[in-house]
Amino acid sequence: MKARTFVLVASAILALALSGAVYAITNGQPDGNNHPYVGLLVFDDASGPAWRCSGALIGPNLVLTAGHCTDGAVAARVWFASDVTGNRDYPYGGPSAIEGKPYTYPGFCIGCGNGLPGFDTGDVGVVVLAKKVPKSTVSVYATLPQAGLVDTLAMKTAVDLVGYGVQVKEQIPGSPYDRWTGDLRRLAATSQLDAADFVQSDQFIKLSANPGQDKGGTCFGDSGGPNLLGGTTTILAVNSYVTNSNCTGVTYSNRIDRAELLNWVRSFSGKK
């Protein structure tokens, strides 16, 4: 019974993430220009802007994000300013945004993961931008890892988290949540890798997320943002899901260092 309750609660949290509930990186600080390649993404469904995520520019016109961000979207756009608060183009687009087309990894599936927790699999997506991001806007890209890199890392390895989102103090009680208000700043924090074996450790990394211990964490609005090997531009994983409504304890991110995912992502290089 306890296991069933856990699944239902966590599944509801994942549903909130998909429906646009937005929070910020917990225990984070304004990033400024430290990670200029991390952008704020808005995704459209058939009716227009529907939800937002974070993502990392890995090439002149290629953004890496989560599959649950791109899934069901018909269009997308991105901003790379460190603070998009008050931007008149947001969320519909304009001169400050770059439009793009979303693609979802073919193996992405919610409800197909095994064990606990195991809500999804292949949670990876990309957005191919209609034009190259000017070097004056982003002069350095995030980098893809070598296959199997995560398996070589020790427990408590530092992991840098970067993303956009509404602060928890700005949360609007009840449902639905207002997904378009609040500060839209890029925040950064450092967490630690929990390298212990767990169900789906071949697909996900587990990160500590306890502000009381001065560790950063992620929450719903940071979906798709990069988990970077501490002090580097190397992406280990993208933010996928959390397991409680306070976004504390641990969070889970889909590993990018799997050969099949790397090959799929790289297939979009140079694509328009």
With a threshold of 0.75, does the pTM exceed it? yes
pLDDT value for 191: 85
Q: Are 207 and 192 in contact (CB under 8 A)?
A: yes
Residue 112 binned pLDDT confidence (cut-offs 50, 70, 90): confident
Residue 170 binned pLDDT confidence (cut-offs 50, 70, 90): very low
What's the chain's average pLDDT?
79
Most confident of the following: 5-9, 17-21, 45-49? 45-49
Bigger pLDDT: 145 vs 241: 145
On the question of pLDDT at 223 being above 70, the answer is yes
What mean pLDDT is predicted for residues 222-235?
A: 92
Q: Are 67 and 251 in contact (CB under 8 A)?
A: no
What mean pLDDT is predicted for residues 153-167?
A: 83
On the question of pLDDT at 18 being above 50, the answer is no
pLDDT value for 171: 46
3-state secondary structure string across 230-245: CCCCEEEEEEEEECCC
Task: Look at residue 89 and give its three-state secondary structure.
Answer: coil
On the question of pLDDT at 234 being above 90, the answer is yes
What is the rounded distance in angstroms from the CA atom of residue 124 to the CA atom of residue 256?
A: 8
pLDDT value for 217: 47
Bigger pLDDT: 233 vs 13: 233
What is the rounded distance in angstroms from the CA atom of residue 174 to the CA atom of residue 270?
A: 43
Residue 119 binned pLDDT confidence (cut-offs 50, 70, 90): low
Would you say the C-alpha torsion 222, 189, 197, 143 has a positive or negative sign? positive
Q: What is the pLDDT of residues 37-57, one digit of tens each?
A: 999 999 999 999 998 899 999
Q: How far is CA 76 from CA 173, 180, 211, in A?
A: 28, 15, 32
pLDDT value for 184: 86
What mean pLDDT is predicted for residues 128-139?
A: 97
Residue 114 binned pLDDT confidence (cut-offs 50, 70, 90): low
Tell me 230's DSSP state: T
Domains of the chain: 2-266 (2.40.10.120)
Bigger pLDDT: 25 vs 118: 118
Residue 199 binned pLDDT confidence (cut-offs 50, 70, 90): confident
